[in-house]
Homo-oligomer: A and B are copies of this chain.
Amino acid sequence: MKVQSTTTQQDDHFLISNYDYKSTNIEKNGDKYIAKPQITNFKFKTDTRIPKVGVMLVGWGGNNGTTLTGGILANKFNITWNSRRGTHQPNFYGSLTQSSVIKIGTCNTEEVFVPFKDVLPMVNPCDIVFGGWDISSLNLADAMSRAQVVEYDLQQKLRPYLEKLDFIAANQGDRADNVIPGNNKLEHLNIIRKNIADFKQQNNLDKVILLWTANTERFCVEDPNIHGTAEKLLKSIESSHPEISASTIFACAACLEGCSFINGSPQNTIVPGVIELAEKAGVFVAGDDFKTGQTKFKTCLVEYLVGAGIKPKAIISYNHLGNNDGKNLSQESCFKSKERSKKTCVDDILESNKVLYPTEEELNIDHTIVIKYCPETGDSKKAMDEYIAEIFLGGRQTFAVYNVCEDSLLAAPLIMDLLLLCELFERIQFSKDSSEYQRFDTVLSWLSYLMKAPKSESGITTINSLSRQRAMLENLVKVCAGLTIDDNLRLEVRYGASRFQQ
């Protein structure tokens, strides 16, 4: 099922869509805002040829990596499995691109929705070639058993497929028995570059994307002299500077090999030097930290409350989990990285509403983040939150939420979405007011819906509210496909001919 718009141009290679973008310039004049609507013409050109894509995961043998790989294999080979609840079919639930839908228009008075993936030509996740690194030398089947995420019967059925898959050695500490052999950071960089090049060649791939799904690292201490430019960064790697984190070396290697890089953990991997390297290579970088459970809920609930004129006063977010991520976060330095990405996520929503938050002091609500390691819960992530909001006449509305999810079962399809969308956006160019076509910004902030602390290019404020993030992504895809944006007025239904014909 494919969508085709009558207003786009399509040749063998490209789909071109024309979009009159409307915005409003605001000027303040005394107690009046003067609003000046503007129209700017944009053209979007999408390369419709679907390439052969390889993905290399840093931390492939972790819970996310094994769940993603196993889950895609289950779908590819249509493997069913049993649990005490009966027989299960594979699916892509939890994936924005594969399992959510987009309204594309109206047929008579009925709204028509299609899967997100059908609006523009996208890679089929079952066609991705996976590879990657891990600090543990287990094969992928054993790594999946250790992860304790996937049902036992499915583990057994996937074992023959997974046993064949070996990790490349990686260079982290902890449960590491499979570290990269190099003696210094430069050697590491070069080994990783060679790994990428070999992987691409051996699998005959059109492109490769790297994604960090390994442990949260501590924040490195950013310094313009160390991380500020591509040149300085490479020099710092040469000198094995201690404030160059492992993830940054992977990011550099990706850029130098012409691969986009996505950071799924909260630490500050994507320093300015990395962005410059990506810029030069014409690839994307995106981050930070997958937005799966508690934070996703938070940016949804707080948006609803503030949008209703209700004033959040306190947000207390407790978490505990028992997987390796939980263990890692029990270290204060790593927790600090996570706390930052989880805590800033409502700031822009609160700041937008000056009726509820007229002062800086009001904005400084009680917002507490706690993450605890609890081995008993395994990969299950338990979030216990309290939201306290002020309502009319000093009253309170309180939400106490107990949210249980499987951490990796939420993260795996989201990783897939990041990869597929990143790949798609590599095939899109735009022209503003008939100027030359260019690619999107190097820092791919379009993916913010999937990120706890979405990284933007400098000068672009971050949007955290969930429905706005989703609208941004949905509308971009629709615009490229030549579909109209939905303003929800539904005037063609309310006052169109078709309604009265029925």
How far is B405's CA from A54's CA once the two chains are assembled, in angstroms? 44
Do B405 and A35 have beta carbons less than 8 Å apart? no
A94-B309, A354-B113 given as contacts; is B395 within 8 A of A105 (CB)? Answer: no
Do A399 and B406 have beta carbons less than 8 Å apart? no
How far is B502's CA from A111's CA once the two chains are assembled, in angstroms? 43
Do B384 and A395 have beta carbons less than 8 Å apart? no
Residue in B closest to A107 when the chains form the complex, CB atoms: B26
Residue in B closest to A95 when the chains form the complex, CB atoms: B309
Do B397 and A406 have beta carbons less than 8 Å apart? yes
State the number of copies, please.
4
Which residues of B lie under 8 Å from residue A100 when comparing CB positions? 306-309, 353, 355
The 0/1 profile, CB within 8 Å of B marked 1, for residues 92-124 of chain A is 111111111101111101111111000000000
Interface of A is mostly: mixed
Do A489 and B476 have beta carbons less than 8 Å apart? yes
Picked from B96, B391, B468, the residue with its CB within 8 Å of the CB of A308 is: B96
A173 at the interface (CB under 8 A from B): no
Interface size on A (CB < 8 Å)? Answer: 159
How far is B382's CA from A36's CA once the two chains are assembled, in angstroms? 47
A232 at the interface (CB under 8 A from B): no
Stretch at the interface among A127-135, A150-158, A182-190, A244-252: A150-158
A148 at the interface (CB under 8 A from B): yes
The 0/1 profile, CB within 8 Å of B marked 1, for residues 327-343 of chain A is 00000000000000000
Do B397 and A403 have beta carbons less than 8 Å apart? yes
How far is B85's CA from A375's CA once the two chains are assembled, in angstroms? 11
How far is B155's CA from A100's CA once the two chains are assembled, in angstroms? 36
A470 at the interface (CB under 8 A from B): yes
Further pairs besides A5-B24, A150-B393, A391-B406: 19, Cβ < 8 Å: A2-B33, A22-B484, A24-B104, A26-B104, A74-B393, A84-B150, A84-B155, A85-B378, A93-B310, A94-B308, A100-B355, A103-B352, A111-B352, A151-B152, A300-B300, A318-B370, A376-B388, A384-B386, A384-B402
